[in-house]
Structure 1
Amino acid sequence: MIIQQLHDHRVVLVNQSGGNSYTSLNCISNKDSFYRGLTAEESERVHEYNFDHPEAFDTEQLLKCMGELKSGKSVNIPIYDFKNHRRCSESFRKVNASDVIILEGILVFHDQRVRDLMDMKIFVDTDADVRLARRIRRDTVERGRDVNSVLEQNLTRNSAELQYGRFVKPAFDDFVLPSKKYADVIIPRGGDNHVAVDLIVQHIRTKLGQHDLCKIYPNVYVIQSTFQIRGMHTLIRDRDITTPDFVFYSDRLIRLVVEHGLGHLPFTEKQVVTPTGSVYTGVDFCKKLCGVSIIRSGESMENALRACCKGIKIGKILIHRDGDNGKQLIYEKLPNDISERHVLLLDPVLATGNSANQAIELLIKKGVPENRIIFLNLISAPEGIHCVCKRFPSLKIVTSEIDVALNEEFRVIPGLGEFGDRYFGTDN
């Protein structure tokens, strides 16, 4: 249902076992993938073999395939033939590299190595009688067994133990149900729970709509683009715009970035009495806050911060920059109690990331925890994001757009030129 609702080629489904494999968005192929082939001795006593036990699966092969998919490579997924109880030697299912991989199966949470590959873990909670009915239907329709055989295997009372009670139910109790504790989301009623399915679909759509770097670095936030934001970017990037217009539209964009950055600060619940005598439950702003601007361009963002946070303290850092190698600290003036505060680091353009890293290192030396620093800018180059996020993974970056790249002069492309000169009117 998730795949069909998304209807997006950037999403693929991989089956561990026990379900349908989608070879395309519209074509269903009834095949299992990661069961290991039975030995000759196991095949002779197949009715005594427990296909619901973790040892029935080739977890190493699953890890290899998932690792290659996550690294952006296409893979050939094996196909298991339940009539012959071994893998098809000449058949496989090719899965192309995709942005979202949905891995499903009854025991995908059992092995920690498989769990560690997952960004989101969903447990489908279904009643026991429904599970049994589905199992009988699956064995008859998908695995080529006749009804009498299935009933004999699952329900005969002539056997010493019921097949279902001997293998399926114990495996569920011992391996499947305990893995429920690892789930981030638990869905009762499965596909009948349309609300849960819609929420997951919307979550995936949100991820697909993110910039690729936001998928790599969860601490990077790009404010949601609108025609207003796109229009303001068009204006400030125009080399023929007048200085007053450049300042006006830059200030509007900076205000949006600052507001978004403030939304990442901690809040506490607060109740107030309204003029009608009613009680309103809201939130109180973070009190321990300061701004730090990287001179000189960062100073253009101070007015927006002051407009949002009355009386906020603002520190300054000046770093000498010569091409891509400048790391010389020239000047710093910071609040004495900065180690107790959350810091909004201000610089409208993140290019190479070297100046930003120097400023962040200084803040950390002053006692500011890395996770209390939020770096605000208007545009970011991918190189700068890589540089900062790899070194400071707990810091947050908030920007309004991520540009294409840096050129040989270390300027952001398409960029907007020397922001400080254009903003303060010192350009040529």
Structure 2
Amino acid sequence: MNLESNFKNLFFLITICFSILSFSQNNRNERKIISAVDKFNESAISLLKKAVNINSGTMNFEGVQKVGSLFQKELDKLGFKTELTNGDAYGRAGHLIATRKGKKGPKFLMIGHLDTVFELDSPLQEYTMQNDSIMKGPGVADMKGGDVIIILAMQALSEAGLLDDMSIEIIMTGDEEKSGKPLELSKKDLIDAAKRADIALGFENGDNNPKTVVVSRRGSTDWKLKVSGNPAHSSQIFTETVGAGAIYETSRILNEFYIQLSKEKDLTFNPGFIIGGTTLNPDDNGTGGSAFGKTNVVSQATIVRGDLRAVSLEQLKKAKETMVKIVSENFPNTKAELHFSPGGYPPLSLTEGNTKLLGYFNTVSEDLGFGSVTAVNPRNAGAADISFTSEYVDMAIDGLGLTGGGGDHTINESGNLNTVAMQAKITAVLLYRLVNSKL
């Protein structure tokens, strides 16, 4: 055997040895992560119980801030630089922001929210255990459970000595359930964080199934339709001078919306209320009103309010264009105006990066013995804060929170506490592998 062959064989052996050592080290670190999650899981459940028993309905600013302070203390212990922001500019409590700058790997954004739909007048104010694992309570799934999973994953990485390597920004908003206005101020901290990040992870509870993850969410915007016609005695309807009236024109428009758009995959448009007649008295808050009219009078005006949900910005744009065109093709002697609300929740568009990140998440779940994970149907995933990252990050997934219960936004909201440790283990190992390019 010549010198060149000996050198090649030696190089091959050294490469194999380094690969084995690296694999062994990775496995050892992942075992540390798993062990650390188990170590802190009981205290995480206690933290969740404490958080759920604090009313943090969106408009209970004091309660939202109190939950924020509770989580802030936990993140402070882990060396995060934390801040509870002031939300006066957009009429809400503010957000919790926590950051750590690491030495390598992608920059992560982890998203939660502090508020719930359960205000101070809700009959559901404290948690109860339905059995040894199912907790019922306000915000247990949506989404204080997800917030606790974030903290538990950070505790595990810190205990394993791996957190210092990572660049992580955590945003827990105080107005996810009822966004402050204007949205450009309400969501500014979140959008700014997204611009700094490479990967976004959302800890909503998705469709309440631990076997699914959200890779695409539909965006949501509101619309308002105003129609006017010529008031006259009903005997003159359809004549050249009177025309069809406002209610017929409104019916035409809504029917055309249905005919032209209802078959579009993942697109929905819902007229939430309608009033019409001779005179209208809409409520100031845009949620209803009253109308006066008589059966023998051609209707003079109608107002319709609704929402529009689309799975991509392109789909949203095309739907708006179709709706505007339909509205412009009026019946005789009628006029119609369609207005879309500014802002709204953008869609989390399905991207190659999101799909790839789901694949990574699925691999970790399978490796840890939790089984495979698939994508949620976007029709089953409503608007959420992670959607505001869609234009800025390379990869994003949501639905990593506490699952296995049900009844979201109702007095029966619940979650399976066994999923806290499971989701924290998958999350922490995923971050470790992404930082160390194991995937």
- Please indicate, yes or no, whether the TM-score normalized by the shorter chain is above 0.5: no
Q: TM-score, normalised by structure 2?
A: 0.25
Q: TM-score, normalised by structure 1?
A: 0.25
Greater RCO structure (CA 8 Å; 6+ sep): 2
